[in-house]
Structure 1
Amino acid sequence: MKRRQARELALQALFQLDNHEISIEEAIGHVTEETDPFLTQVVTGVVNYKEEIDATLTDKLENWSLSRLPKIERTVLRIAVFELLYNKETPAKVVINEALEISKIFGDEKSSRFVNGVLSKYTEQ
């Protein structure tokens, strides 16, 4: 499974977890029958580090609260921030580009611009 597909499935699995009280394994099982280590790593990582991820996102959001974000944007951001902070094997540019592409697929026309604006703050020094 390619990483793009794993990220898209991670988005769907995390969406399941946000809406239902099920296990990580069940959420992944609802979106694919394949087992993929990267998919499992991303979903598990976002769930395990959700508080830390949300805290950093809250610091980066301007004029927004995390709870007001549409679920798609919030979940795409959580996946990307997990990769940026805890899974350093993928370059930041790639992580951000993947998040933008996924937000274009699952979000509306403004989603990718919003996601880009937030994630670009993680690369500013």
Structure 2
Amino acid sequence: MTMNKPNPTQRRKARKLALQALYQWHIAESPITQIEAEFLVDNDMTKVDREYFSEVLRGVPASKSVLDEHIAKHTDRSPKEMTPVELAILRMGTYELIHRIDVPYKVIINEGVELSKIFGANEAHKYVNGVLDKLAQELRMPEVKAVKK
């Protein structure tokens, strides 16, 4: 079985839509399957990595408590004190660090920072960068050490 190399632009769009869907899930508390169905209907998904979108969108809520435990170790704020955007980005990034070993940790951090620049508050990208960097050191230590050599 040959795996196609993921298209970075399609992945970026998938993350952007997943963030918006996770934000909606957080605010509206609608079932994730309903939100996913709405997003698939309401958005042009032809240039989106749909598999990635669905995996992240379903995976984050399914492992929310584990993700929040990891995030809590590296932040001085509780999830309730974070903005819904910051929380969604950190959960997505943590999910990817744990479950998507095929994606380099630096890509995950960079994507989280870029999303927080677009959707987050003024200095949110600095906060997201710091927390995801600490999470990468915890969850991807061999990769982080290899890159820093």
TM-score normalized by the length of structure 2 = 0.77
Distance of 1:66 and 1:60 partners within structure 2: 12
| Structure-2 residue corresponding to 1:65 | 78
Structure 1 residue ranges without an equivalent (≥5)? none
| Structure-1 residue corresponding to 2:92 | 79
Mapping of 1:3-22 within 5 angstroms?
3-22=11-30
Query: Aligned residue pairs: how many?
Result: 124
RMSD between aligned alpha carbons?
A: 1.6
| Structure-1 residue corresponding to 2:52 | 38
Regions of 4+ moved over 4 Å: none
Mapping of 1:39-58 within 5 angstroms?
39-58=53-72
Distance of 1:6 and 1:89 partners within structure 2: 16
Contact 2:21/2:35 (8 A) holds in 1:
yes
Secondary structure of the corresponding residue to residue 123 of structure 1: helix
Structure 2 residue ranges without an equivalent (≥5)? 1-8, 142-149
Distance 1:37 1:60, change over 3 A: same
The one-letter code of the counterpart of 2:32 is: I
Distance of 1:123 and 1:49 partners within structure 2: 18
Contact 2:70/2:135 (8 A) holds in 1:
no
Contact 1:17/1:23 (8 A) holds in 2:
yes
| Structure-1 residue corresponding to 2:3 | none
Contact 1:9/1:32 (8 A) holds in 2:
no
Structure whose alpha-carbon radius of gyration is higher = 2
